Amino acid sequence: VSYHSAFNSVKVELACGIPIMPIKTKIRGIAPIQMDDKKEDIIDEGIKLFRINVLFKNYKIQGDADRLLVFLTVLIQRILEIITATPKKEDADKNLAKFAMEQIPQAGEVGFFLGGIATKAENEAENQKFKDYLKQVKAETIRRIVQMLFGSEIGLMDMKYWLQFSKRKFMGLSMLSLIHISEPTRPLYISYAVFCLKKKNAKN
């Protein structure tokens, strides 16, 4: 059984179907700031549920916050992948800084893994809000993962345990892949590669 967000019942502003949830951060951006440091935010939840949800090949959206949880799960896997490739903190910091600065694609952009669950922006302002919010969430998630893995409170064995999940792909997704996800009110979305394979087999 996959795990869903406890924030699904929370009603907040949406940008391209993605909820603009408050987060605990000092990184500048458009996200509402959660002032209570002791209270879990959506990024804390994403990190907490990552090692469970990343093992699943299917995930059924049950609320708006689940859409953001999908983004976080795929994002954390990519962060771990970068750290695994450059395990020294100085090198990891450089590569993750570059990754943090990469622009978030538009919601409907071909090849973006959120293509199946993010909705098309009604205007440029909504599209920009979608991109700015996810970029800020990405930067804050990177900061927390680095602090967690390289901080003095975590041992080498715990770091090795976390990094083994770098090879796992949540539903086979990566930061640049199309989504393969199901919802009660939405048909199944399949990856472009699977679509081409099916088309080729149909011709044969």
User: In the structure, what pLDDT confidence band is assigned to residue 112 with cuts at 50, 70 and 90?
Assistant: confident
User: In the structure, what pLDDT confidence band is assigned to residue 190 with cuts at 50, 70 and 90?
Assistant: very low
User: In the structure, what pLDDT confidence band is assigned to residue 2 with cuts at 50, 70 and 90?
Assistant: low
Burial (CB count <10 Å: 0-12, 13-18, 19+), residue 16: buried
pLDDT digits (tens, 9 = 90+) for 7-31: 999 999 999 999 999 999 999 999 9
* pLDDT average, residue stretch 41-50: 96
- Judged against a pLDDT cut of 50, whether residue 124 lies above it is answered with yes
- Give the 3-state secondary structure of the chain: CCCCCCCCCCCCCEECCEECCCECCCCCCCCCECCCCCCCCHHHHHHHHHHHHCCCCCCECCCHHHHHHHHHHHHHHHHHHHHHHCCCHHHHHHHHHHHHHCCCCCCCCCCCHHHHCCCCCCCHHHHHHHHHHHHHHHHHHHHHHHHHHHCCCCCHHHHHHHHHHHHCCHHHCCCCCCCCCEECCECCCCCHHHHHHHHHHHHC
- Judged against a pLDDT cut of 90, whether residue 194 lies above it is answered with no
Neighbours of 91 (CB within 10 A): 13
The pTM (predicted TM-score) of the whole model is 0.81
pLDDT digits (tens, 9 = 90+) for 146-187: 999 988 666 555 888 888 888 887 766 666 443 333 333 333
